[in-house]
Amino acid sequence: MNVIVIGSGAGGATVARELAKSGINVTIFEKGPLNKMEKSYQNYEVLNTGIEISQTVCVGGTTTVTMGNAIRTCEKYFKSIGINLKKEFQEIEDELCVKPLPDSHFGDGTRKLMNAAESLGFEIKKIPKFIKPQNCKPCGKCAFGCSKDAKWTTVEFIEEAEKYGAKLIDNTPVTEIIVENDEIKGVKSYDQVFNADIVVLSAGAIETPRLLQKTGLNAGNNLFVDTFVTVGGILKNIKFNKEVQMNAFIKIDDIVIAPHYSSLIVEKLHKFGARKKDILGLMVKIADEPSGNVRENVIKYSTMKDIGLLAKGSAIAGAILTESGVDPVTLTSTYARGAHPGGTAAIGDVVDIDLETKVKGLYVVDASVFPKAPGAPPVLTILALAKRLGKHIIKEKIS
């Protein structure tokens, strides 16, 4: 039994490790390079569709630049459609020691924001992280790639999979999936053919649907990105830019608000003489409507509902920032961005609840399979889905 996994990010690395552990012959194709972790920022691939969408193309995929946030998302929703992830969530949380960082890892800026939120009547909770506090020396650089080996990424899963015999082929994009009579046969990277009995497609919500479209499947619709803006202003010498980002969050309906520094705010506040260390900020993130689609080009826009949610979240963020001591005259916002693209090969649309497409032996596990925007960090849920898929393949195909 030969399995090919396409992509080594959240979905791909997890399923690859699960299968390799049980003695299955696994080959992982990764489009990007294996880099030093602290150089991960060099692998960003940013799409400008009106909303700026960010991913990284490298071994470890976009897990290399996360904030280390580890939240169960859509658990009830998945259960309602027949996917119970409780066991897989628990297994992953135990393995990665998911919990909030200790108080020693909360800086002055975050504390001020938490106190201000509470005094205005908002419930603010600490965010569970997959960050080892003993290795983490707060530097504010999670999204660049961790230089201290403190933040978990799927590079660890890939290394483990390799110990169990899996083969990683980096710098090698899969360019085509080979299907004959509705059955999987393998993949192509340009003119080289690789045969497989099973292919698991985990190339992320932009590339996965493009590969599916080439096989004739109707993927690529309903793109969401969890649209966000960062609202910020000046609080002199707060040094928030060096703190662990997003250490706490407020959830109101489809809006999440969390402490967040953005260098884009500094650029906007040059006229006030702002320096990096003078900025305090909050991210306002929404579960956006699936208004986008992926073809050769990517289209994504904010609907009226999305704009309403972003406006409401930004108003709350402005109030909290002002209460924290930010000069309200300096309050400003970034443009809209999205770091959680998904929905483009959704369960119930392109794959069934076992994540198999109409092509026998062709599975998908990555953010594409979410039927709706989580409005919150999706990695933990992708890991749970990938673990569940690994178990399913082992049970169905091997025993």
Ligand X SMILES: Cc1cc2nc3c(=O)[nH]c(=O)nc-3n(C[C@H](O)[C@H](O)[C@H](O)COP(=O)(O)OP(=O)(O)OC[C@H]3O[C@@H](n4cnc5c(N)ncnc54)[C@H](O)[C@@H]3O)c2cc1C
Using the minimum distance from each CB to ligand X, give the nearer residue, 207 or 243.
Answer: 207
Binding to ligand X in span 197-256, by CB under 6 A: 202-205, 207
Helix (H) / strand (E) element for 257: namely strand 255-259
Q: Is 389 in the site for ligand X (CB under 6 A)?
A: no
**Burial group, residue 125, by CB count within 10 angstroms (0-12, 13-18, 19+):** exposed
Q: 277 has which bridge partners?
A: none
* Helix axes 10-21 and 155-163, enclosed angle (nearest 10): 20
Q: Is 166 in the site for ligand X (CB under 6 A)?
A: no
Residue whose tokens read 């690789």:
194
Q: Is 8 in the site for ligand X (CB under 6 A)?
A: yes
Q: Is 57 in the site for ligand X (CB under 6 A)?
A: yes
**For ligand X, which residue has the nearest CB?**
9
- For residue 254, the SS3 value is coil
Structure tokens at 261: 């520094």
Q: What span, in angstroms and rounded, lies between the C-alpha atoms of 366 and 216?
A: 20
- Please, what is the minimum distance in Å from the beta carbon of residue 160 to ligand X? 17
**Which residue of 3, 17, 68, 113 would you call a contact of ligand X, by CB under 6 A?**
68
Bridge-based pairing state of the strands 248-252 and 125-126: antiparallel
Using the minimum distance from each CB to ligand X, give the nearer residue, 201 or 274.
Answer: 201
Task: Give the binding range for ligand X (CB under 6 A) out of 66-74, 85-93, 132-140, 348-356.
Answer: 66-74
- Please, what is the minimum distance in Å from the beta carbon of residue 329 to ligand X? 29
Angle at the Cα of 163 (from 162 to 168), degrees rounded to 5?
10
Are 138 and 111 a contacting pair, CB within 8 Å?
A: no
Q: Is 286 in the site for ligand X (CB under 6 A)?
A: no
Q: Is 128 in the site for ligand X (CB under 6 A)?
A: no
SS3 content of the chain, % helix, strand, coil (to 5): 35, 25, 40
Using the minimum distance from each CB to ligand X, give the nearer residue, 216 or 328.
Answer: 216
Using the minimum distance from each CB to ligand X, give the nearer residue, 23 or 33.
Answer: 33
Q: 256 has which bridge partners?
A: 251, 285
Q: What span, in angstroms and rounded, lies between the C-alpha atoms of 208 and 368?
A: 7
- For residue 135, the SS3 value is coil
What count of Cα atoms within 13 Å lies in the side-chain half-sphere of residue 25?
Answer: 6
Task: Give the binding range for ligand X (CB under 6 A) out of 55-63, 81-89, 258-266, 344-352.
Answer: 55-63
Q: Is 49 in the site for ligand X (CB under 6 A)?
A: no
Using the minimum distance from each CB to ligand X, give the nearer residue, 235 or 246.
Answer: 246
- For residue 146, the SS3 value is coil
If you write DSSP's letter for every residue of 269-290 in order, what string do you get?
Answer: TGGGT--GGGEEEEEEEE----
Task: Give the binding range for ligand X (CB under 6 A) out of 64-72, 215-223, 270-278, 326-334.
Answer: 64-72
Task: Give the binding range for ligand X (CB under 6 A) out of 23-31, 113-121, 266-274, 343-351.
Answer: 23-31
Q: What span, in angstroms and rounded, lies between the C-alpha atoms of 329 and 182?
A: 61
Using the minimum distance from each CB to ligand X, give the nearer residue, 113 or 326.
Answer: 113
Binding to ligand X in span 332-351, by CB under 6 A: 339-340
Q: For ligand X, how many residues bind (rule: CB under 6 A)?
A: 40
Q: Is 29 in the site for ligand X (CB under 6 A)?
A: yes
Using the minimum distance from each CB to ligand X, give the nearer residue, 143 or 362.
Answer: 143
Task: Give the binding range for ligand X (CB under 6 A) out of 90-98, 192-200, 284-292, 372-380.
Answer: 372-380
- Please, what is the minimum distance in Å from the beta carbon of residue 360 to ligand X? 21
**Phi, psi (rounded to 5 degrees) for 36:** -65, 140
**Which residue of 4, 9, 283, 317 would you call a contact of ligand X, by CB under 6 A?**
9
Q: Which residues bind ligand X (CB under 6 A)?
A: 6-12, 29-32, 54-55, 57-58, 61-63, 65-69, 143, 173-174, 202-205, 207, 339-340, 366-367, 377-380, 382
